[in-house]
Amino acid sequence: MSEIGKLYIVATPIGNLGDITLRALEVLKSVDVILCEDTRVTSGLLARFEIKKTLISYHQHSEDNKVDWINSLLVEGKNIALVTDAGTPGISDPGNKLINQLTIKQFNNLTIIPVPGPSAVITALSISGFPTDKYVFMGFPPHKKGRQTFFREVAQAKYTVAFYESSHRIKKCLDELNAVLGRDALLCVCRELTKKFETIYRGTIEEILEMKVLEKGEFVVVISPDFNRR
């Protein structure tokens, strides 16, 4: 019986392809299979670095039997890399569900190896200027049900808060924050991090609303805790 394969959790660039690590490239070249959210996105990354590999899609809508198939590949001794479209797999990403299910199936037999690298939330926190010794990451706000509860929890947080938001909800998000935090709350709103049109908006909610944030791209919103407001 062959030794069970290894699962590599590989972080990929959130925008600028130059941010990929040498180790990530080595792993992507060495594994037998790469699991990815969107094969078109990952194909573009691999082509940039002249890597040819078998790609298997795994995303939030994947059927449960896909996990069984992935598990069977590991049992056959195949080494597998898990990537997301951008950033670190498993962080506000369906990869965490896959990792959980595979560890349940294999108990302690599966070796999971992290290959760290870019993360949008860490990138945003690093340039926010807000306290980061303690912070709360809250993923994406719900689209509808639970959205008001989400923002009440943001308002009650004792530490710096960071979360993701989509382009077509960012204006609504700022209005909702204004309602629960007040116009003097300090924010750092990061748009299209590491990409060509990267834009960082800093100031109070009122000031940022006046900046007319461009509703295009991907956003990370970082909010200062109470003691760091004006």
Mean pLDDT of the chain: 92
- pLDDT above 70 covers a percentage of the chain that reads 97
- Checking if the pLDDT of 154 tops 90, the result is yes
pLDDT at 72: 92
pLDDT at 226: 66
Structural contact between residues 128 and 220, judged by C-beta atoms closer than 8 angstroms:
no
pLDDT at 1: 55
- Checking if the pLDDT of 106 tops 90, the result is no
In terms of Cα–Cα distance, which of 9, 193, 166 is closest to 90?
Answer: 9
Cα 163 to Cα 54, 87, 140, 229: the distances in Å are 33, 14, 6, 18
Edge-to-edge order in the sheet of strand 33-36: 54-57, 33-36, 80-82, 7-10, 112-115
* Bridge partner residues of 135 (DSSP): 160
Structural contact between residues 119 and 88, judged by C-beta atoms closer than 8 angstroms:
yes
Can you tell me the mean pLDDT for 29-58?
95
pLDDT digits (tens, 9 = 90+) for 218-229: 999 999 986 444
pLDDT digits (tens, 9 = 90+) for 128-147: 999 999 999 999 999 889 99
pLDDT at 60: 74
Q: How confident is the model at residue 230 (pLDDT cuts 50, 70, 90)?
A: very low
Show the tokens assigned to 90: 């498993």
pLDDT at 51: 97
- Checking if the pLDDT of 107 tops 90, the result is no
pLDDT digits (tens, 9 = 90+) for 57-88: 988 777 778 889 999 999 999 999 999 999 99
pLDDT at 184: 83
- For the chain, the C-alpha Rg in angstroms (whole number) is 20
Rounded Cα–Cα distance for residues 29 and 35 (Å): 13
* Bridge partner residues of 112 (DSSP): 7
pLDDT at 2: 67
pLDDT at 65: 83
pLDDT at 167: 94
Can you tell me the mean pLDDT for 187-194?
97
3-state secondary structure of 148: helix
Residue that has been written with the tokens 């300090």 in this structure? 186
Domains of the chain are 7-115 (3.40.1010.10), 120-228 (3.30.950.10)
Concatenating the DSSP letter of every residue in 32-76 gives SEEEES-HHHHHHHHHHTT---EEEE--TT--HHHHHHHHHHHHT
- Checking if the pLDDT of 209 tops 60, the result is yes
pLDDT digits (tens, 9 = 90+) for 16-32: 999 999 999 999 999 99
